[in-house]
Amino acid sequence: MTTDIDIAHAKIHRLSRLYLTLSRCNQAVLESASESDLLASACQIAVDAGELAMAWVATIDPETGTIRVAERFGRGVEYLESVQISPDAEDPNGRGPTGTALREGHPVWCDNFMRDPRTAQWHALGERFGWSASASLPLTSNGHVVGALNLYLTQQNAFDAATRELLGEIAAVISFGLGRFALEAARQEAEDRLRDSEDRYRSIVEHSRDAILLTAPDGRILAANPAACRIFGCTESDILRLGRNGLVDTADPRVTAAVEERRRTGSFSGELTMRRYDGERFPAELSTSVFQTHSGEVRTSMLIRDVTERKRNEAQLAYLAQHDALTGLPNRLLLTDRLNLAIAQAERDGTSLALMFLDLDRFKQVNDLMGHELGDQVLHQAAQRLKACVRASDTLSRQGGDEFLIVLPNIGSPETAVPVARKLLDTLITPFSLGDREMVLSGSIGIACYPEDGTDADSLLRNADAAMYVAKDLGRNRYQFYSPAMNERIRERLMLEIDLRRAIERGQLFLNYQPQFAFTNRLVIGLEALARWQHPTLGLIPPDQFIPMAENSGLIVPIGAWVLETACQQQAAWIAEGLIDGPMAVNVSMHQFRQPDFIERVTDALSRSGLSACHLELEVTESVFMQDLDRVMQTLEALRSLGVRLSIDDFGTGYSSLSHLKKLPIYRLKIDQSFIQGLPLDQENAAIAGAIISMGKRLGFEVLAEGVETQEQARYLHSLECDAGQGYLFARPMAARECTDFLRDGAGATPAPS
């Protein structure tokens, strides 16, 4: 029988175990390394020291709000594996002591576990484990309920006031411990966050490619990042020593405005010149802003970007946009700009200016003959020479191709341009050397002056161009001032070109034939076909005038085909009549020769006319051999295998390489008439003619002299063993009918040299 004394003893015993529990929990709070450590110890202490059946701690998952078993100790903990407790009051699993304590934040005492309706769901377990009473004590952390300490006892009605107080204190001690851990965790987290943020800022500052400086209002620099050291070329302490004024180029006039803006608005961003440690100045983009530190000090942050490279690229781009890549001269864009400026200045000052349009003569031919690479070299050299002829205040520009424009600003009168034009022409005429080759060039210049020939850039350009066109027309290598009549002349030229297009179909072209003679017996050995144009209103137009026009416009191909066809027909007819037995020479222009179907055209002309190939001679100029020799050789070989004869016309005026010459399937050289003039007295011509004849003969070629006008020339050439001659001395070029008579009358009736 249980007596009051027994009850009192039991109570004292329980209380003393609970005091022990409290004391151990205090100890655990001090010794635990973590929250779970503390909770695990608390459960174990409650069971061991408090002599309870079982203890466990429920905590609320802060993320999901669900309740989980954090720690447990004692008899029956296995049931906790599958226990389900909800924080929700509507859920039957949430209406038990733990759910209620957690939700309502006060202890829930069950003095008779097995009878208490709140524990109805767990009576079977109570039965099994011998639980007679239970307590659920909320655990808090810094004022918030974070869990519940659940204790199970084997005796009923154990929760008297003193016990409740003691258990409350135990929960309070554990709560204190939890609060400490939470605070510690929060502090740690704050520290981590601070460190992270510091790391982030440091890495931004340290890895920035721009200089970042922190300065004080008195201009002292307090900190500088590694980029600042790299940009200014010194150490951080050097930068600190230099201070703000040591880094900015105070001579930059923009500095005052920048300082003023920063003072007024608290920030500045713009461009300034800065100085490196070694004194070198460089362009920089600056962005500064003034701010206050936490302790109230005024500071300025400066972000400095070195824009040297960007400026250099920009300048390079601007330069390229305004200059010609090949020669480095200003291009049309820059020239137009300068021309407009010069016009404005001339207008203001009442002065004149001259605009020159310079075009290199026959440069297309140079390009075709020598290839674009050498052509570019010529242009480059020409540009350098022209540049040396003008003043720094003049603008020389290349417009592309072989065209140059020169602005002479502020000249007294148009005549002032004359010596400059002469100088430009003279410098071009000096031979150009290209490796082991030399070449002679010339230019034609058109000059238009402000205000006489135009008061705006467009009309000056147009008129200088027209004047240049006329300079070319008048024989090239000359300058020509603009006059209003020129436009008319150019119009006429264009009309003439249009007329030429129709000349073939309208039957306005015809051929003249000039016989060629052997020096030995003065007999006709062949004929040359020479084209003529009978214009309906302008009369007879010489080939020197329309052949270049045809070459420039591409008309030379149909014209050349017509000449070939007609000459073959005519020769076939004369041969059939027995009037001649030699070849008919036909001039072939380079353009025509390079046509892919040239061989076909020759074969067609021969077969249509019935002329045998050996009665056709094709005259090409040296220029044909100067480019793409392999292809030229193929064409020449194909012609030779047809049986057609080939000769080089105007020999001596080009730049044939002798080594090439000996390989060519050529049968005749025609010495240009300019070397025949003045023979035999003209010593220079005598030497050249002599050299060509002896070289030609030695290489196995026949040699024919063109433009033989006098007996002296004929005699001299004969004495040099020149094979044949052609010229007014023997016969002029004649129309077909006249030539027929000539041949019938017994060609070769020219007086023999005495």
Ligand X SMILES: Nc1nc2c(ncn2[C@@H]2O[C@@H]3COP(=O)(O)O[C@H]4[C@@H](O)[C@H](n5cnc6c(=O)[nH]c(N)nc65)O[C@@H]4COP(=O)(O)O[C@H]3[C@H]2O)c(=O)[nH]1
Name the site residues for ligand X (rule: CB under 6 A).
514, 530-531, 542-544, 547, 560, 563, 587, 589, 649-650, 673, 706-709, 726-728, 733
The answer to whether 88 and 109 are in contact (CB under 8 A) is no
Prior bond to 680 cis, omega within 30?
yes
Question: Given the complex with ligand X, which of 399 and 609 has the nearer CB atom?
Answer: 609
Q: Which two tokens stand for residue 41?
A: 């110890």
Q: How far is the CB of 494 from ligand X (least distance, A)?
A: 22
Q: How far is the CB of 677 from ligand X (least distance, A)?
A: 8
According to DSSP, residue 488 is labeled: H
Q: Where are the strands (E) in 260-371, listed by range? A: 267-275, 281-292, 298-306, 352-360
Q: How far is the CB of 542 from ligand X (least distance, A)?
A: 5
Question: Given the complex with ligand X, which of 169 and 709 has the nearer CB atom?
Answer: 709
Question: Given the complex with ligand X, which of 268 and 533 has the nearer CB atom?
Answer: 533
Question: Given the complex with ligand X, which of 462 and 532 has the nearer CB atom?
Answer: 532
Helical (H) or strand (E) element with 521: none
- Residues ≥6 apart with Cβ < 8 Å to 198: none
Q: How far is the CB of 676 from ligand X (least distance, A)?
A: 8
**Separation of alpha carbons 619 and 423, rounded Å:** 38
To 5 degrees, how large is the angle CA 661–CA 667–CA 673?
A: 80
Q: Which two tokens stand for residue 652?
A: 């001596």
Q: How far is the CB of 554 from ligand X (least distance, A)?
A: 13
Question: Given the complex with ligand X, which of 179 and 707 has the nearer CB atom?
Answer: 707
Q: How far is the CB of 504 from ligand X (least distance, A)?
A: 12
Question: Given the complex with ligand X, which of 59 and 589 has the nearer CB atom?
Answer: 589
The gap between the terminal CA atoms of the chain, to the nearest Å, is: 182
Nearest to 623 by CA among 645, 601, 650, 602: 650
Question: Given the complex with ligand X, which of 324 and 649 has the nearer CB atom?
Answer: 649
Q: How far is the CB of 409 from ligand X (least distance, A)?
A: 43
Q: How far is the CB of 649 from ligand X (least distance, A)?
A: 5
Q: How far is the CB of 407 from ligand X (least distance, A)?
A: 38
Question: Given the complex with ligand X, which of 268 and 519 has the nearer CB atom?
Answer: 519
Question: Given the complex with ligand X, which of 194 and 735 has the nearer CB atom?
Answer: 735
Nearest to 59 by CA among 162, 158, 145: 145
Question: Given the complex with ligand X, which of 291 and 728 has the nearer CB atom?
Answer: 728
Nearest to 667 by CA among 520, 566, 526: 526
Q: What pairs with residue 176 in β-bridges?
A: none
Q: How far is the CB of 589 from ligand X (least distance, A)?
A: 4
User: For 426, how many CA atoms within 13 A lie in the half-sphere containing its CB?
Assistant: 9
**Separation of alpha carbons 285 and 276, rounded Å:** 14
Q: How far is the CB of 320 from ligand X (least distance, A)?
A: 42
Q: Where are the strands (E) in 622-748, listed by range? A: 645-651, 668-671, 702-706, 724-726, 734-735
Question: Given the complex with ligand X, which of 381 and 750 has the nearer CB atom?
Answer: 750
Question: Given the complex with ligand X, which of 702 and 706 has the nearer CB atom?
Answer: 706
Question: Given the complex with ligand X, which of 319 and 728 has the nearer CB atom?
Answer: 728
Q: How far is the CB of 730 from ligand X (least distance, A)?
A: 8
In the bound state, the residue with its beta carbon closest to ligand X is 727
The answer to whether 376 and 399 are in contact (CB under 8 A) is no
Burial class (CB in 10 A: 0-12, 13-18, 19+), 255: middle
Task: Tell how strand 702-706 and strand 724-726 pair up.
Answer: parallel
Question: Given the complex with ligand X, which of 451 and 753 has the nearer CB atom?
Answer: 753
Q: How far is the CB of 533 from ligand X (least distance, A)?
A: 10
Q: How far is the CB of 727 from ligand X (least distance, A)?
A: 3
Burial class (CB in 10 A: 0-12, 13-18, 19+), 37: middle
Burial class (CB in 10 A: 0-12, 13-18, 19+), 686: middle
Question: Given the complex with ligand X, which of 55 and 531 has the nearer CB atom?
Answer: 531
Q: How far is the CB of 712 from ligand X (least distance, A)?
A: 13
**Separation of alpha carbons 14 and 156, rounded Å:** 13
**Separation of alpha carbons 104 and 549, rounded Å:** 111
**Separation of alpha carbons 155 and 391, rounded Å:** 120
Question: Given the complex with ligand X, which of 448 and 563 has the nearer CB atom?
Answer: 563
The answer to whether 288 and 300 are in contact (CB under 8 A) is yes
Q: How far is the CB of 506 from ligand X (least distance, A)?
A: 17
**Separation of alpha carbons 573 and 565, rounded Å:** 12
**How far apart, in Å, are the Cα atoms of 533 and each of 329, 539, 547, 723, 728?**
43, 8, 10, 32, 21
**Separation of alpha carbons 45 and 19, rounded Å:** 11
Q: How far is the CB of 548 from ligand X (least distance, A)?
A: 9
Question: Given the complex with ligand X, which of 35 and 706 has the nearer CB atom?
Answer: 706
**Separation of alpha carbons 85 and 67, rounded Å:** 6
Q: Is the dihedral of CA 103, 104, 105, 110 positive or negative?
A: negative
Residue type, 435: G
**Separation of alpha carbons 452 and 475, rounded Å:** 25
Burial class (CB in 10 A: 0-12, 13-18, 19+), 568: buried
According to DSSP, residue 477 is labeled: S
Q: How far is the CB of 471 from ligand X (least distance, A)?
A: 22
Report the b/e string of 109-141 with b at 16+ CB within 10 A: bbbebbebebbeebeebbeebebbbbbbbbbbb
**285 φ/ψ angles, rounded to the nearest 5 degrees:** -100, 130
Question: Given the complex with ligand X, which of 4 and 544 has the nearer CB atom?
Answer: 544
**To which residue do tokens 């001579």 refer?**
251
Residue type, 752: A
